[in-house]
Structure 1
Amino acid sequence: MNKVLFFITFASCSTLIAQKKVSEKTSMNPIFKGWYADPEAVIFDKTYWVYPTYSAKYEDEVFLDAFSSPDLVNWTKHPRIIDTTSVKWAKKTMWAPAIVKNNNKYFLFFSANDIQNNNEIGGIGVAVADKPEGPFKDYLGKPLIDKFINYAQPIDQFVFKDKDGQYYLIYGGWRHCNIAKLKPDFTGFIPFDDNSVFKGITPDQYVEGPVMFIRNGKYYFMWSEGDWVGPDYCVSYAIGDSVMGPFKRIGKILQQDPKIATGAGHHSIIKAPDSDRYYIVYHRRPLTETSAFSRETCIEEMFFDENGYIKPVKITNKGVKANPLK
């Protein structure tokens, strides 16, 4: 082999090896540093976003950060996209953000103050911004929901857009889950045909953290079970024919692995555009940690079997391969 041919061959092999290394690069878990929980994962334009709870003592949970990525591997932190100075009624425990883009505005739903009864100030609020990284400002000047309805604590809100364009708020802690139809401007709710505003859709063993998505015409309803401070926190699901269900529990699909981490739960779902590729973004507690607040945000790919059932998710330290948005 002459020197020129050898150099070309060597260079070509080196390029292929480098490309392979790039393609094999993974997110690793956790996907970013710091104690973060209850991640809301979405895609805006050509960017992945994660909006988690800042996991700390209740009185220190007074702000929310966001993280963005072009490929699920490289993440940029956007600190303090909102804090309690922008929400006068919120004093602590800003939890479990949910976000949607509507009419070229970004609406961030959150819970605050961890109210324990109807005499306390707090509940589920809404903030708005012109960009996904904020800054977000209080939209209503008061909570959207500030009472226990159908025994559901007003926390852990999820905003779901149905096939007809109707937005629903699905929420609830304390083992009860409600659904309500949002007004187009998100200032309140539209009554159902029977004039009720909130309907209970609580499945068996539900605790908190509702999530919903549609796949192949079916409505997948997911939630967290167990105690968030314990190792057995997990995610289960049901499948229904409409946003109202009924939803019969099928089983767990995400839980601890005593060899990797415990308390795997309170998740969200990303569907990669123009594909049937799904990711589950969740929090878990490292084996080295004993504090309830030591939670980190992780990601795994989620698969379905030939009948549309979700396969059990294996939690990993590797995470997922890069998937740039085109």
Structure 2
Amino acid sequence: MTKPAIFFFSLLFLALSITAQQKSRPVTSGNPLFPGWYADPEGVIFGKQYWIYPTTSDKYDKQVFFDCFSSPDLITWKKHDHILDTSAVHWARRALWAPAIVEKGGKYYLFFGANDIQNNNEKGGIGVAVADKPEGPFKDYLGKPLIDQFYNGAQPIDQFVFKDVTGQYYIIYGGWQHCNIARLKSDFTGLETFEDGTTFREITPGGYVEGPLMFIRKGQYYLMWSEGGWTGPDYSVAYAVAKSPFGPFKRIGKILQQDPSIATGAGHHSVIQVPGQDKWYIIYHRRPLTETDGNSRETCIERMYFDTQGLIKKVTITKAGVEKNRLK
């Protein structure tokens, strides 16, 4: 065989080998999931689509709208612009934060924080918007905040809506190191009282700062939250477990935090379970190593695993993200 022929077949073999390697590698989402500064991501499944509803990470006075993102497989994400902005909520003027969303009766209810109120005399708090489609457009549902006062010391921000096995919906929320739970009316127009006549119950675990989330797995209630300062490198996620949504919740430990070789400030997350499977994802924000601005946060995803005792294993943050998973 001549030298040109040997060279040609060598190149052909190399190209075929590279192609085979590429085909054998799983397709992954990569982190971040989509471009832009986005934080506090709320992940949810509607039908056969994954959805993420994040805070637009910017200066408070520029946080006047929400975008959201949808994907059929966790790999390809479609952006839906300005699904809600302050022009549709007359009492909200800035600091639109941490959306939480549920579908009920063919309507989509988006809960959000606005205005970053510092006391009971300021206007703002937690509101509700409604739409006919998950991508909106959303409009103000109540014409006023659902919660606009400080109860048990909790700043009315970082709301999460939890549906219990009984069908009862609860709102779990709170900043300033206090976490409350309250019963939502069936139409989400207000709050119901508990049997003892109270409306807000404090369920704050040790170490809690903000960003609560609750889910059930194998009969246990998991309460998760963020610790540390959101602008710093040590922002992180911890959790507790109880037999009831009211606790008592005793802190178990951190499961998500920075990796100084990849990114810092990993926190304020949400959790998705694939329907019918014990397969879980954690969606969170973090800050690239190149960034020092507190608002430079990006949305990322990892798998979340449990051990044989039901404890959450520590999550390793990655650049690869997760493998492709199309919903069935």
Per the TM superposition, whether the score is higher than 0.5 is yes
Tell me the matched-pair count. 311
How far is the alpha carbon of 1:273 from its aligned partner? Answer: 1.5
Counterpart position of 1:144: 146
Counterpart position of 2:49: 47
- 2 CA distance for matches of 1:125 and 1:20? 47
2:90 is equivalent to residue 88 of structure 1? yes
Counterpart position of 2:182: 180
State how 1:68-217 maps to structure 2 within 5 Å: 68-217=70-219
- 2 CA distance for matches of 1:273 and 1:108? 21
- 1 CA distance for matches of 2:194 and 2:324? 43
- 2 CA distance for matches of 1:122 and 1:141? 11
1:318–1:127 distance in 2 versus 1, CA, 3 Å: same
- 2 CA distance for matches of 1:74 and 1:32? 9
How far is the alpha carbon of 1:23 from its aligned partner? Answer: 6.9
Compute the RMSD of aligned alpha carbons: 1.2
- 1 CA distance for matches of 2:302 and 2:117? 33
Q: CA-to-partner distance for each residue in 1:207-226, whole Å, 9 max, x for gaps?
A: 00000000001001100000
Q: TM-score scaled to structure 1, two decimals?
A: 0.94
Kept in 2, the 8 Å contact 1:23–1:322? The answer is no
- 2 CA distance for matches of 1:67 and 1:19? 31
Identify unmatched segments of 5+ residues in structure 2.
1-15
How far is the alpha carbon of 1:166 from its aligned partner? Answer: 0.1
Secondary structure of 2:87 counterpart: coil
Equivalent of residue 57 in structure 1, options 56, 59, 70: 59
Kept in 2, the 8 Å contact 1:181–1:192? The answer is yes
Secondary structure of 2:118 counterpart: coil
How far is the alpha carbon of 1:21 from its aligned partner? Answer: 3.0
Secondary structure of 2:23 counterpart: helix
**Letter aligned with residue 79 of structure 2:** K
**Letter aligned with residue 39 of structure 1:** P
**Letter aligned with residue 37 of structure 1:** A
Taking only the aligned residue pairs, the percentage that are identical comes to: 68
Kept in 2, the 8 Å contact 1:31–1:297? The answer is yes
Counterpart position of 2:301: 299
- 2 CA distance for matches of 1:241 and 1:63? 37
1:196–1:74 distance in 2 versus 1, CA, 3 Å: same
Equivalent of residue 274 in structure 1, options 273, 276, 281: 276
Identify unmatched segments of 5+ residues in structure 1.
1-13
**Letter aligned with residue 49 of structure 1:** W
- 2 CA distance for matches of 1:170 and 1:121? 21
How far is the alpha carbon of 1:103 from its aligned partner? Answer: 1.1
Secondary structure of 1:85 counterpart: helix
How far is the alpha carbon of 1:30 from its aligned partner? Answer: 0.2
